[in-house]
């Protein structure tokens, strides 16, 4: 027989067709796009070989916006139209401008609009539109590199992002022409990049020090599922602040005015950043500043002096780590892994202080600028359906229970809701009638007890069963769910090896509101459902007893029963048949017991007869 195949719209119907997918790290300072090729995750470069895209957009009057390196280079000469750190404004309303505006130099449009609008020479733009330009550039880079259209992406967001910020990210992606598989928490993405999801359980600290922000997240890993226990950090503390401290030292040493103009400050910041990076490989660096008018200043910055300058800032991050641990209710000694994220964690001093704080060496094997994008790419590859079954990630749970229909229109749940995936569960069933050679398998989703109240997912037939008496065949039904939510159901008769199966996508067509409605209904009707289930179970059992009794009477009634005995049994059977039409499970149960009582002698005689027949011509010691 042909198997029913169910797939989401737009998905390839070819089982092993590779779908192009990417992971995007949409950062405050820099952004990246990554993918998985031949099982290996990698970030994608532009035509010039650059992997990192500065999260900067410059708007112009008669030309499309510039994005990335070119926009960043123009920031000094055109600061008001060059928009950076736009992530700070994502999902923010006009009321939030007081707390955000101090960190950005933009001019905001006057008015009472709910969404802040930034004034540029190309007109007013929102943070969503600016982010869409960055995402569009990354999408184009990925599609050129991969040679085709992306089927979807995973975009990372800070763990503390609220619903408005997450929705704004999705809206920006839609404007950029991207299909979002999922938003993934940045610390979770970093942990995935290191394969920590493949471990059993433990506590993970993700220390994320970027150019403009610092985030600390404490994750609990349990059976492959990450739970964010606590987050913390400082949205106005990052590598740029380290550069400012070094630049301030340079200004002091060179005797420059602390209130220097924007262009001078940008030049100083570049020099400070170069010096900071140079001290990662050497104990000291020479610094030279052009003071204008033919004057120059030359000095030397040692690693020791730089450490003194930045130590107070690093201490701020460690204080945030201490608060996050306290909020999570754990001690630093309990942390099993420390993952470093963000370009600023390249600083040796940062790594030394973090190692001393947690008492263990942090993970720095993967480029800290790329680790989040790499984790997102791995997850995108899974959600695109490209990952082999034995390598799937455990990052989700089943929202609603999965099961099959049993006699009487009842639902037998095989995988309960909130089970972590991937998972596999099996349960054995049997036939209801003698000589039954096929079984219809009806796959259902939901929390209710009756088939009519649950959602039908698929049906298939297991045929070719051996024609045995009812209850003799052993049919094992196995549900397997992968990390993309794809469910495979197989049914196998264990004595003959006959098999059949089907694949379904239980999330297809179900919105969050529908899942919530189904869960709410299961709670509201729990008592009624249990009463209805009890009634159906007794009705099914009563029907089984009647059918078995009729078969026994037809086979041995004339030979083993007197007229009075048969009359008594048939009277009890008739009473039971009448009770099956009612709605009282206790009455049906009593009628079943009455039939069993009336037929007990008949059952014993049949058993004796069967034993004598089996032993005829044999000695006892042969058995």
Q: Which residues are catalytic?
A: 25, 87, 186, 208
Q: Taking Cα atoms as reference points, which of 36, 8, 10, 26 lies closest to residue 393? A: 36
Report CA 215 to chain centroid distance, whole Å. 21
Which residue is listed with tokens 């229909």? 405
CB atoms closer than 10 angstroms to residue 519? 15
Helix residue spans in 194-261 (DSSP H) = 239-254
**β-strand pairing of 66-67 with 56-58:** antiparallel
Q: Which two tokens stand for residue 312?
A: 């107070």
Nearest-angstrom CA–CA distance, 144 and 147: 5
Q: At what angle do helices 585-598 and 563-579 cross, to 10 degrees?
A: 170
**Cα separations in angstroms, 174 against 113, 165, 199:** 22, 14, 35
Q: What is the Cα–Cα distance from 123 to 353, expressed in whole angstroms?
A: 46
Tell which residue, 25, 47, 114, 122, has the closest CA to residue 82: 122
Q: Could you tell me if 575 and 592 are in contact, meaning their C-beta atoms sit under 8 angstroms apart?
A: no
Please tell me whether the peptide bond between 379 and the residue prior to it is cis, using omega within 30 degrees of 0: no
CA angle 433, 435, 496 (to 5 degrees): 110
Contact criterion met (CB below 8 Å) for 57 and 85: no
Four-CA torsion 442, 448, 453, 454, nearest 10 degrees: -40
Please, which residues bridge with residue 85 across strands? none
Phi, psi angles (nearest 5°) of residue 407: -55, 140
Query: Do 396 and 421 form a contact (C-beta atoms < 8 A)?
Result: yes
Of 420, 402, 532, give the one whose Cα is nearest residue 458. 402
Encoded tokens for 471: 């209850």
33 strand-pairing partners: 24
- CB 202, CB 194: distance < 8 Å: no
Of 495, 499, 435, 429, the residue nearest 467 (C-alpha): 435
Name the residue among 122, 114, 126, 115 with its Cα closest to residue 175. 126
């Amino acid at each position: 027989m042909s198997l029913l195949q169910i797939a989401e719209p737009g998905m390839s119907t070819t089982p092993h067709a590779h779908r192009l997918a990417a992971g995007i790290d949409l950062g405050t300072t820099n952004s990246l796009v990554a993918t998985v090729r031949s099982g290996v995750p990698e970030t994608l470069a532009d035509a010039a070989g650059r992997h990192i895209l500065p999260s900067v957009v410059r708007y112009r009057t008669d030309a499309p916006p510039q994005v990335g390196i070119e926009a960043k280079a123009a920031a000094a000469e055109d600061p008001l139209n060059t928009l950076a750190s736009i992530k700070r404004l994502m999902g923010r309303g006009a009321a939030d401008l007081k707390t955000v505006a101090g960190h950005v130099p933009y001019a905001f449009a006057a008015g009472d609009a709910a969404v802040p609008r930034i004034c540029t020479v190309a007109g007013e733009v929102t943070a969503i539109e600016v982010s869409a330009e960055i995402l569009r550039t990354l999408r184009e880079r990925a599609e050129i590199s991969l040679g085709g259209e992306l089927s979807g992406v995973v975009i990372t967001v800070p763990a503390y992002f609220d619903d408005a910020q997450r929705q704004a990210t999705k809206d920006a992606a839609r404007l950029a022409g991207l299909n979002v598989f999922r938003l993934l928490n940045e610390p979770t993405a970093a942990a995935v990049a290191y394969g920590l999801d493949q471990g059993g359980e433990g506590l993970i600290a993700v220390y994320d020090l970027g150019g403009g922000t610092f985030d600390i997240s404490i994750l609990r890993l349990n059976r492959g599922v990450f739970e964010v226990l606590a987050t913390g950090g400082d949205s106005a503390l990052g590598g740029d602040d380290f550069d400012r401290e070094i630049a301030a030292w340079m200004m002091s040493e060179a005797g420059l005015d602390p209130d220097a103009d924007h262009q001078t400050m940008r030049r100083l910041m570049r020099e400070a950043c170069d010096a900071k990076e140079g001290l990662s490989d050497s104990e000291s660096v020479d610094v030279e500043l052009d003071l204008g008018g033919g004057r120059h200043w030359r000095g030397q910055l040692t690693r020791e002096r730089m450490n003194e300058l930045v130590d107070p800032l690093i201490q701020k991050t460690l204080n945030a780590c201490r608060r996050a641990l306290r909020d999570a209710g754990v001690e630093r000694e309990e942390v099993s892994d420390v993952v470093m994220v963000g370009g600023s964690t390249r600083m040796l001093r940062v790594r030394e202080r973090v190692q001393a704080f947690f008492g263990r060496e942090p993970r720095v094997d993967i480029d800290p600028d790329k680790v989040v994008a790499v984790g997102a790419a791995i997850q995108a590859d899974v959600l695109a359906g490209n990952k082999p079954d034995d390598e799937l990630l455990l990052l989700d749970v089943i929202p609603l229970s999965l099961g099959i229909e049993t006699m009487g229109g009842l639902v037998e749940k095989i995988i309960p809701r909130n089970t972590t995936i991937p998972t596999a569960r099996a349960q054995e069933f049997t036939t209801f009638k003698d000589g039954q050679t096929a079984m219809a398998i009806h796959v259902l989703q939901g929390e209710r007890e009756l088939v009519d109240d649950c959602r039908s997912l698929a049906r298939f037939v297991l045929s070719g069963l051996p024609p045995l008496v009812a209850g003799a065949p052993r049919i094992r039904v196995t549900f397997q769910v992968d990390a993309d939510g794809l469910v495979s159901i197989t049914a196998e008769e264990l004595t003959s090896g006959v098999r059949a199966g089907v694949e379904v996508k239980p999330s297809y067509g179900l919105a969050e509101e529908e899942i919530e409605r189904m869960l709410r209904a299961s709670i509201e009707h729990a008592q009624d459902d249990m009463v209805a289930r009890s009634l159906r179970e007794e009705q099914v059992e009563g029907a089984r007893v009647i059918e078995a009794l009729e078969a026994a009477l037809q086979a041995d009634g004339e030979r083993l029963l007197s007229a009075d005995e048969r009359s008594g049994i048939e009277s009890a059977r008739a009473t039971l048949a009448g009770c099956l039409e009612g709605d009282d499970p206790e009455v049906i149960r009593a009628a079943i017991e009455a039939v069993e009582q009336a037929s007990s002698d008949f059952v014993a005689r049949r058993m004796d007869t069967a034993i004598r027949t089996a032993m005829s011509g044999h000695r006892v010691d042969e058995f």
